[in-house]
């Protein structure tokens, strides 16, 4: 019953997407209003059928209908209900179905916001989005069918989803956030294709595309960081980023999307980088598909690679189609993509934006090369190798820091042209302040070069951002005699994009400093700790009290209790765990973390002696890690502020060059 219903809905979605796609392209060519109406209707039906299909799958999961293939794969009567609900995205087939639902939500959003106006842009955009939708519905209907009816396996084999996903609540929100980021790039991609097909590449489409890009960009930011946070809280090796191929896969579109958001401003304001901006848009979408290919094809060995799966080749063909069509479109429209303005002087916001875009592109290239290099080595020389963290760190630290530095220079300088004197007067206060604070950090005992440099450039960028937010407020107070709060509120309402952007910059500065400090000043101790005795790490003493084991519905837990003493004073207790899931050989740890603003004390349980008289413990002190999560939250908040729809749609103003 559920099987048939689900399959029926998927076939409906496949049909509506295919027809809608063809009709959309036709309507785009002919400009027919009826064609557009039908395309919108088909897109709406497509979205609705996918959402319903997801609901059917959730219902099957919750009612443990093991005759549905996907439920038979990941279902378990012993899993807690919330695990059962999120099982939807715990494995390949379900996650692609879930992907479809997110695309459906975006399509609904797009239809709702384009009810009036945009008649020229909409048909091609919907056609492109539905082309992508056709591909995913095809996957769900065929190669990754979750709904087929099966003879249920014996109940003992229903062990629930992958234990790594059951281990932490972050797994509930990390995949949806990432998907909202990935899938959301489809809409701006559709707008880009639409603009290229029509040959209408002015600033007007750019403003709309930019705001449609901001939404998935915010989600992608959250998704990437939540992934890091999950790794930190679950994997137990004391870190949050390992340049794992799939982490890289999520970072790549983030980099190009960030570059796009800046390039789009330059195009909007100055008519520069038109071709580049469009290319970034297309590349960002292609990278989300590449990321999905990496996660789902089994080509890369990673914490994310579920299995060797047959959908790899299908995805690769799709990626190839996207890339070739994108290249052709840009090639065909290149003559419309020449710049209107000219670059002012090297000392201008324009120049900072251009260099920062080049650096974003360089960063993307480095990460991409590092990620696919093992494949190349294997193809060419048949050797196994991995590009380790040192490669990525060596290149990403200087590139990243230059980007952060320019994040301060850009907003500090005006658009267009600046004299050397003017530039100096704008830059010297934040620059000297950050240098003085850097010197202070040096005096306080920060000895390593890179963390100090990071601190200086991040402070510089944050100070510029703060000044950029305060200046309009004080100007309003002076000119209009407004009280501070009223002035702030007015300035905020007038320049929400600017405020959003600068808040993101402050978040970036926090994240970057936190990464530099936590990776440079980590302390690690490990050892077998007999009962009643302690392991000492920095000024902490970790006393092993006892171990206990107990059963939870879906796992057996072995927990070791440690009392934490700081400078001899008891500050808390921590219980790192080892969890054993049915159907799984090796236990999976849950580290225990004592977080403070200054540092995290992070305990990872390695083993417990059979008689429970000693515990193998690995302890880390990770300074400033909590600021990473705070910084990321600030970033997402900033994106949200920038993306929040304006009440009145004002035409985008174009600054005279």
Partner 1 sequence: MNVAQTPKPAISWPALLVGLGLTLPLLGILLSGLFHDPHDLGNPLEDETAPRFTLPRLDGQGTLSLEQLRGKPTIINFWATWCQSCPLEHPVLEQAAREFGDQVQFVGIAYEDKSERLSAWLQRANRGRPSAYPTLIDVGGKVAVAYGVYGVPETYFVDAQGTVKHKKTGPFLPSADPTADGRLELRRILGEML
Residues of the shown chain interacting with partner 1 in the complex, contacts defined by CB under 8 A: 199-202, 275, 290, 293, 297-301, 305, 308, 312-313, 316, 319-320, 323-324, 326-328, 330-336, 340, 368, 372, 375-376, 378-379, 383-384
In terms of CB distance, is 335 or 648 closer to partner 1?
A: 335
For the CB of residue 131, give the shortest distance to partner 1 in the complex, in Å. Answer: 18
- In angstroms, the CA 369 to CA 256 distance is 15
For the CB of residue 333, give the shortest distance to partner 1 in the complex, in Å. Answer: 7
- Chain centroid to Cα 420, Å, comes to 38
For the CB of residue 251, give the shortest distance to partner 1 in the complex, in Å. Answer: 17
- In angstroms, the CA 585 to CA 163 distance is 11
Alpha-carbon dihedral of residues 124, 129, 131, 137, nearest 10 degrees?
Answer: -150
Cα distances from 158 to residues 59, 72, 496, in angstroms, run 17, 7, 51
In terms of CB distance, is 316 or 399 closer to partner 1?
A: 316
User: Which residues contact residue 212 at a Cβ distance below 8 angstroms, ignoring those fewer than 6 apart?
Assistant: 110, 184, 187, 188, 191
In terms of CB distance, is 331 or 568 closer to partner 1?
A: 331
For the CB of residue 323, give the shortest distance to partner 1 in the complex, in Å. Answer: 4
- In angstroms, the CA 568 to CA 12 distance is 67
For the CB of residue 143, give the shortest distance to partner 1 in the complex, in Å. Answer: 14
In terms of CB distance, is 54 or 314 closer to partner 1?
A: 314
In terms of CB distance, is 334 or 609 closer to partner 1?
A: 334
For the CB of residue 314, give the shortest distance to partner 1 in the complex, in Å. Answer: 11
Task: Check if the beta carbon of residue 524 is closer than 8 Å to that of residue 504.
Answer: no
- In angstroms, the CA 350 to CA 342 distance is 10
For the CB of residue 275, give the shortest distance to partner 1 in the complex, in Å. Answer: 7
In terms of CB distance, is 327 or 424 closer to partner 1?
A: 327
Q: How many CB atoms lie within 10 A of CB 180?
A: 19
In terms of CB distance, is 42 or 121 closer to partner 1?
A: 121
369-403 burial by CB neighbour count: b if 16+ within 10 A, else e?
ebbbebeeeeeeeeeeeebebeebeebbbebbbbb
In terms of CB distance, is 369 or 429 closer to partner 1?
A: 369
In terms of CB distance, is 378 or 552 closer to partner 1?
A: 378
Task: Classify 555 in phi/psi space as left (phi over 0), alpha (psi -120 to 50) or beta.
Answer: beta
Task: Check if the beta carbon of residue 134 is closer than 8 Å to that of residue 19.
Answer: no
Q: Which residue has the tokens 């497509």?
A: 46
Would the CA dihedral through 266, 272, 273, 274 be positive or negative?
positive
Task: Check if the beta carbon of residue 79 is closer than 8 Å to that of residue 46.
Answer: no
- In angstroms, the CA 214 to CA 226 distance is 18
In terms of CB distance, is 214 or 290 closer to partner 1?
A: 290
For the CB of residue 336, give the shortest distance to partner 1 in the complex, in Å. Answer: 6
For the CB of residue 327, give the shortest distance to partner 1 in the complex, in Å. Answer: 3
For the CB of residue 302, give the shortest distance to partner 1 in the complex, in Å. Answer: 8
Longest dimension (CA), the chain: 81
∠ CA 366-191-198, rounded to 5°: 115
In terms of CB distance, is 196 or 413 closer to partner 1?
A: 196
For the CB of residue 286, give the shortest distance to partner 1 in the complex, in Å. Answer: 8
In terms of CB distance, is 129 or 290 closer to partner 1?
A: 290
Cα distances from 89 to residues 75, 530, 616, in angstroms, run 12, 42, 34
For the CB of residue 559, give the shortest distance to partner 1 in the complex, in Å. Answer: 25
Length of the chain: 657
∠ CA 74-80-82, rounded to 5°: 85
């Amino acid at each position: 019953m559920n099987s048939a219903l689900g399959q029926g809905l998927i076939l409906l979605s496949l049909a509506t997407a295919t027809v809608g796609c063809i009709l959309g392209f036709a309507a785009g060519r002919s400009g027919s209003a009826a064609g557009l109406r039908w395309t919108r209707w088909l897109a709406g039906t497509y979205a609705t059928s996918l959402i319903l299909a997801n609901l059917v799958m959730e219902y099957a999961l919750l009612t443990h209908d093991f005759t549905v293939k996907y439920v038979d794969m990941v279902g378990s009567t012993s899993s807690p209900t919330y695990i059962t609900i999120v099982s939807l995205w715990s494995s390949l087939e379900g996650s692609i179905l879930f992907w479809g639902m997110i695309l459906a939500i975006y399509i609904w959003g797009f239809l709702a916001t384009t009810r009036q106006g945009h008649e020229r842009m909409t048909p091609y955009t919907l056609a492109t989005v539905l082309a992508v939708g056709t591909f995913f519905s095809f996957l769900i209907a065929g190669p990754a069918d979750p709904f087929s009816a099966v003879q249920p396996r014996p109940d003992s084999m229903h062990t629930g989803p992958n234990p790594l996903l059951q281990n932490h609540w972050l797994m509930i929100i990390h995949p949806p956030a990432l998907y909202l980021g990935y899938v959301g790039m489809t809409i701006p991609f559709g707008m880009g294709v639409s603009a290229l097909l029509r040959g209408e590449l002015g600033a007007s489409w750019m403003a709309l595309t930019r705001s449609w890009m901001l939404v998935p960009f915010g989600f992608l930011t959250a998704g990437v960081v939540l992934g890091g946070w999950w790794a930190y809280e679950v994997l137990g090796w004391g870190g949050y980023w390992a340049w794992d191929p799939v982490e890289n896969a999520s970072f790549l579109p983030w980099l190009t999307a960030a570059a796009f958001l800046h390039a789009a401003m330059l195009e909007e304001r100055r008519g520069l980088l038109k071709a580049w901006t469009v290319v970034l848009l297309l590349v960002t979408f292609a990278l989300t598909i590449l990321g999905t290919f990496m996660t789902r094809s089994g080509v890369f060995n990673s914490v994310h690679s579920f299995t060797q799966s047959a959908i790899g080749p299908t995805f690769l063909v799709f990626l190839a189609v996207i890339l070739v069509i994108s290249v052709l479109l840009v090639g065909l429209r290149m003559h419309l993509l020449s710049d209107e303005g000219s670059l002012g002087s090297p000392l201008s916001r324009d120049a900072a934006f251009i260099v920062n875009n080049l650096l974003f592109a360089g960063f993307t290239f480095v990460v991409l090369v590092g990620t696919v290099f093992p494949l190349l080595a294997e193809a060419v020389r048949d050797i196994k190798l991995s590009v380790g963290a040192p490669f990525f760190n060596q290149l990403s630290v200087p590139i990243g820091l230059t980007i952060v530095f320019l994040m301060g220079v850009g907003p500090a300088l005006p658009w267009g042209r600046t004299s050397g004197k003017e530039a100096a007067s704008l830059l010297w206060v934040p620059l000297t302040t950050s240098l003085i604070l850097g010197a202070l950090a040096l005096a306080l005992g920060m000895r390593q070069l890179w963390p100090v440099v990071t601190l200086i450039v991040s402070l510089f960028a944050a100070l510029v951002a703060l000044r950029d937010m305060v200046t309009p407020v004080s100007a309003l107070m002076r000119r209009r005699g407004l009280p501070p709060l009223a002035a702030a509120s007015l300035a905020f309402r007038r320049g929400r994009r600017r405020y959003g952007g600068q808040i993101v910059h402050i978040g970036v500065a926090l994240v970057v400093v936190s990464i530099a400090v936590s990776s440079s000043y980590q302390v690690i101790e490990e050892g077998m700790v007999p009962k009643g005795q302690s392991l000492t790490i920095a000024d902490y003493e970790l006393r092993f009290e006892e171990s206990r084991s107990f059963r939870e519905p879906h796992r057996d837990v072995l927990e070791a209790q440690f009392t934490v003493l700081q400078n001899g004073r008891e500050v808390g207790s921590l219980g790192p765990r080892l969890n054993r899931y049915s159907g799984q050989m090796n236990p999976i740890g849950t580290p225990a973390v004592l977080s403070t603003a200054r540092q995290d004390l992070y305990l990872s349980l390695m083993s417990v002696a059979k008689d429970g008289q000693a515990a193998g413990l690995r302890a880390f002190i990770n300074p400033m890690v909590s600021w990473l999560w705070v910084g990321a939250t600030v970033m997402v908040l900033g994106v949200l502020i920038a993306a929040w729809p304006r009440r009145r749609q004002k035409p985008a103003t174009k600054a005279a060059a």
